[in-house]
Amino acid sequence: MNLLTSQQLKQLDAYTIRTHKVSPWCLMERAADLLFQWIQQHLSDRNSFTILAGKGNNGGDGLALARKLIQAGKQVTVYILQVGSHSSDEYRQNESLLHAMGVQPIAVDEHNYSKVVNFEEVVIDAVFGIGFKGDLPEWLQALFDWLNLEAAFRVYVLSVDMPSGLPTDMPPADAHAFVHPHMVLTFQCPKLPFFLPSTGKFIGKYEVLEVCALAERGDNYADELFSEYHCVDAAMIAEIRQSQHLEPRRRFSHKGTYGHALLVGGSYGKMGAVVLSGTAVLRNGAGLLTVAIPACGYTVLQTALPEAMVLTSDTDKHFSSIPILFTPSAIGVGVGWGTHPDTAAALADLFAQYPDTPFVIDADALNLLAQQPELCQALPQGAILTPHPKELERLIGKWTDDYDKLAKAKAFAEKHRVVLVLKDAYTMITDGDAFWINTTGCPALATAGSGDVLTGMLTALRTRGYGALQAAILGVYLHGQKGEQVASRIGEEALIARDLVTF
C-alpha cells in the first residue's frame, strides 16, 4: 500500500469527485458512515461521547459523526474549536443539520477553553486533518495537553484521519504538541508519522477506512500515484514470493540445490550470536552452512549447531582472516564479531575476495564500517546492512529529526548501492530509491539475539536466490510475524531469541 502526501490525498479526493461524480458532501457522509460503523463494532458499550471539531473538512466529519451518534441514541457533547477563519461548505451544512436536531454545539476559544474539562468516556478528535501545518495556539496546546493527560487515565481518544496538531508531511514543531490517541481511523492510507519513532510512540493503533473506495469501482488510480513510502502487507509478500519464481523443495533435489551459506562472526563470550544466526540460516531453507569463527568457539558451534561445518581462525578470542576454499551463495557477517584490528582486516579481505557475492552485514561489521569509512567504498553492490538506531547513527551521522534521518539513510543507500534495513518498532527498508515500511512485529522482539536471528534469516533468503531488496522486505516481515506468533503463545516478556528458531 502506498503512503500518500497530503497534497496527493487532496488530489485523490478531487479525482474521485471529478471522475466518479461523487459530491464532496457524499464523501463526507461516507466517511461519517464508516466512522460510525467502526464505533458500533468496537465501542458499542460506550454511551457518552465528546466531539472536538474544527471548522474545516475534518471538523465536518466530526459533526456528521455526531449527528449519527445522536440518532443512535448516544449522549453527545459537541465543542467547536475556534481556530482558523475558513469553514467548508460541508462543515456549515452539518452544523445546520445539528441545529435542526436541537443540538447546540459549544464554541471554544482562548477565553473559555479551561472550562472544557469534563470529557465524556470517548473523545472524538476531529479538529485538524491532513492539511495541518505550523504551531498550535497556546490555549489549544493547553487543551490538548489536558486531553492527553485524561487519555492516559480515564478517557478513550479516537482521532479522525490524523491526530490533531500532527503534520502529515513534516516533523511537528514539538514532538508532544498534538493529540495522543488510542486509535486513529485514517482515510485511504496510513500516514508516515504513524511509523516514525518520535511521533508514532504517541499513537496507539490505526485502521484505514477506504472513503474514496476506488478499488470497489475497479479504479487503480491511487496505486498509480508516485509514492516514496510503501507499507508492506501480505499482498506484497505474496507478490515477492511469486516474482522470485522459487519453487517448493523438489523430490529430486539435494542440499546443494538450496545454496551454501557462509556465516562469519563470533568472538570470546559472544558465540551465542553465531549459534542463533546459524540456526536461523538453516531454519529458513539454506541447504548448507559453513561458519567461520575464532578458535575459542569451535566446541560451542560443533555442539550447539551440529548441522553446520566450522572453520576457525588461528587467533583464539577474536577473528582474523582465514582462507575460504569455496564460493558461498551468500555471506552473513558481523554477529558477535568484535572490532579488533585483525577483524577489520578480515572484513576487507572478504569484500575483496567476494565482490559479487550477496552480503548481509550486521552488528560489529557495521561498527567497523563506521570506524573505517574506506571500507564503505568497498561494499559489494546489493549488500544488505541491518543497523539498529545507534549503529545507523555511527554510519550516517546524527540527525535533527526522523525526516532528516530518512533522507540521510536513503542517500547512504544510493551512494553505496546497498539496501539499508533500519531496525525499529516499524522497521524501514530503503534501496536508495524508496522506503518499505514493515508492519509486523511486537515489543517481544526487543530482546537479546533477535537481530542475530534476522541476520540469519536474511542470509538464508539471499542464499536461496532472493534479490537483495526482496530478501530484506520478506525477511523482516517474516521475522516480525514469527515474533507475533511466538509471543501470542508464551507472552511478550517470556520470548527469547532462540524461540524464534525453535517454535
Find the mean pLDDT for residues 213-227.
80
Predicted pLDDT at 2: 92
Predicted pLDDT at 361: 99
Comparing 224 with 244, which gets the higher pLDDT? 224
Predicted pLDDT at 246: 67
Q: Show the cell assigned to 406.
A: 530518512
250 — pLDDT class (breaks 50, 70, 90)? confident
Predicted pLDDT at 137: 94
* β-pair type (419-422, 428-430): antiparallel
Cα separation, 464 vs 460, whole angstroms = 6
User: pLDDT tens for residues 444-493?
Assistant: 999 999 999 999 999 999 999 999 999 999 999 999 999 999 999 999 99
Q: Which of 54-58, 115-119, 254-258 has the lowest mean pLDDT?
A: 115-119
Q: Which of 55-64, 79-88, 161-170, 479-488 has the lowest mean pLDDT?
A: 79-88
User: pLDDT tens for residues 65-89?
Assistant: 999 999 999 999 999 999 977 888 8
241 — pLDDT class (breaks 50, 70, 90)? confident
Q: Tell me what the pLDDT averaged over the chain comes to.
A: 95
Predicted pLDDT at 55: 93
Find the mean pLDDT for residues 317-329.
95
Share of the chain above pLDDT 70, in %: 99
213 — pLDDT class (breaks 50, 70, 90)? confident
Q: Are 61 and 35 in contact, with CB atoms under 8 Å apart?
A: yes
Domain spans of the chain, in order of start: 2-227, 234-245+257-502
336 — pLDDT class (breaks 50, 70, 90)? very high
Close Cβ partners of 216 (under 8 Å, ≥ 6 residues apart)? 210
Find the mean pLDDT for residues 197-202.
96
Comparing 213 with 286, which gets the higher pLDDT? 286
247 — pLDDT class (breaks 50, 70, 90)? low
Find the mean pLDDT for residues 428-442.
98
User: pLDDT tens for residues 348-369?
Assistant: 999 999 999 999 999 999 999 9
User: pLDDT tens for residues 401-430?
Assistant: 999 999 999 999 999 999 999 999 999 999
Looking at domain 234-245+257-502, what is its CATH homologous superfamily? Ribokinase (3.40.1190.20)
Cα separation, 281 vs 107, whole angstroms = 62
* Residue the block writes with cell 457518552: 48
Domain 2-227 coded CATH 3.30.360.10: no
243 — pLDDT class (breaks 50, 70, 90)? confident
Predicted pLDDT at 38: 98
Q: Is the pLDDT of residue 200 over 90?
A: yes
Q: Show the cell assigned to 446.
A: 526487543
Q: Is the pLDDT of residue 335 over 70?
A: yes
Q: Is the pLDDT of residue 48 over 90?
A: yes
Find the mean pLDDT for residues 232-240.
93
* Residue the block writes with cell 491526530: 163
Find the mean pLDDT for residues 207-232.
86
Largest Cα separation within the chain, whole Å, is: 87
What are the φ/ψ torsions at residue 2 (nearest 5 degrees)?
-75, 140
Q: Do the first three CATH levels of 2-227 and 234-245+257-502 match, i.e. the same topology?
A: no
Q: Is the pLDDT of residue 214 over 80?
A: no
* Order of all β-strands in the sheet with 330-333: 2-3, 229-231, 435-437, 428-430, 419-422, 384-385, 359-361, 330-333, 260-264, 288-293, 309-312
245 — pLDDT class (breaks 50, 70, 90)? low
